[in-house]
Amino acid sequence: MTSLPYHGLRLLAVHAHPDDESSKGAATSAKYASLGARVLIATMTGGEAGDILNPALLQSPKASRDIAGLRREEMATAAAALGAEHVWVGHVDSGLPDGDFDNQTPPGCFYRVPDEVAMLPLVHIIRTFRPQVVTTYDELGGYPHPDHIKNHAVTMAAVEAAADANSHPELGEPWQVQKIYFNQDLSAKKWITIHEKMLEAGLESPFADHLEDFKKRDNQRHNWLSTRIACSEFFSARDRALLSHATQIDPEGGFFSASRKAARTYWPTEEFELALDLTGREQLNRDLDFQETDLFAAVTFDDGRRVPEEGMLPESPAADDLDADSSVPTESDTRA
């Protein structure tokens, strides 16, 4: 019996809260899991500070009395929808204060824990799971949330420490991650392109009021979309995973509106930024987007085999090549 092509490869996706794994790189995770890779989602915090954003659950006794417990159940359902494994790193949700993060986040929360301490459980996870590839957020967190910014710093510190035999040997044998990627689902290029394509198709865009914010964010940090994964066949799994977080997602709200579903038609991929490449191949040109179609491109298996430099996934379609007259997904498409 022939094994699946990605059997023996391991992807660790490090996220700040339960639900982040379903809104950032989720279809990519589901695709790799279906192809035989082990995909482990590490969730830094329990999401204890999350609000109940679904009106249908506002009167739920469990949601109001044990939000942390309910979010653990939601997370288990979401991971199963993606075909992924899951582990809690164990930090406490910092919340999203209006003011300065250093002064407004509560004592003991994830954001307040020193990086060298906060990284320790993740170092153990890396050395135990031994991923060739790790995904996390960029230094601005993808968007300005204290736990997302902290997620970046702690992940980068943990990857470095995990490879150092002299760093915390009690946490396991050293392991060198070969590649790190930043999730770039919130890139300005993506959402401005979707907006323009929707207008061309005669549709009302839900992103019109956010264009200046997208441009401002791009000016603050220009995201390099080095890697594009064609994964539209797993968008339904991604939606099921996200809807599993019922306390956080209103299925009748803006995220699952007709406009949101239409947006899926014009960008059937997920993007990442290559942040670390220790594969030994020639380095990619940071001035060019969309140079890779596989996070595991050029990665070495445990047995010494090497993934081809062009990767093993099919080339992703460019957003500009998509048919603007494509049919718009219906409500039933996202609830399949």
Sign, CA dihedral 80-84-157-290, equals negative
- 17 assigned binding-site residue: yes
Cα–Cα distance for residue pair 55/133, rounded to 1 Å: 38
- 168 assigned binding-site residue: no
E strand or H helix at 125: helix 120-129
Which residues make Cβ contacts (< 8 Å) with residue 106, sequence separation at least 6? Answer: 94, 95, 112
**Which of 26, 9, 6 minimizes the C-alpha distance to 231?**
26
Q: Where does residue 134 rank: exposed (0-12), middle (13-18), buried (19+ CB within 10 A)?
A: buried
Cα–Cα distance for residue pair 199/180, rounded to 1 Å: 35
The owner of tokens 């049919």 is 327
- 148 assigned binding-site residue: yes
Biggest CA–CA distance in the chain, Å, is 60
Return the axis-axis angle of helices 26-34 and 67-82, rounded to nearest 10°.
Answer: 50
Cα–Cα distance for residue pair 283/308, rounded to 1 Å: 15
Q: Is 231 left (phi over 0), alpha (psi -120 to 50) or beta?
A: alpha
Which residues are annotated binding-site positions? Answer: 17, 20, 148
Which residues are annotated binding-site positions for Zn(2+)? Answer: 17, 20, 148
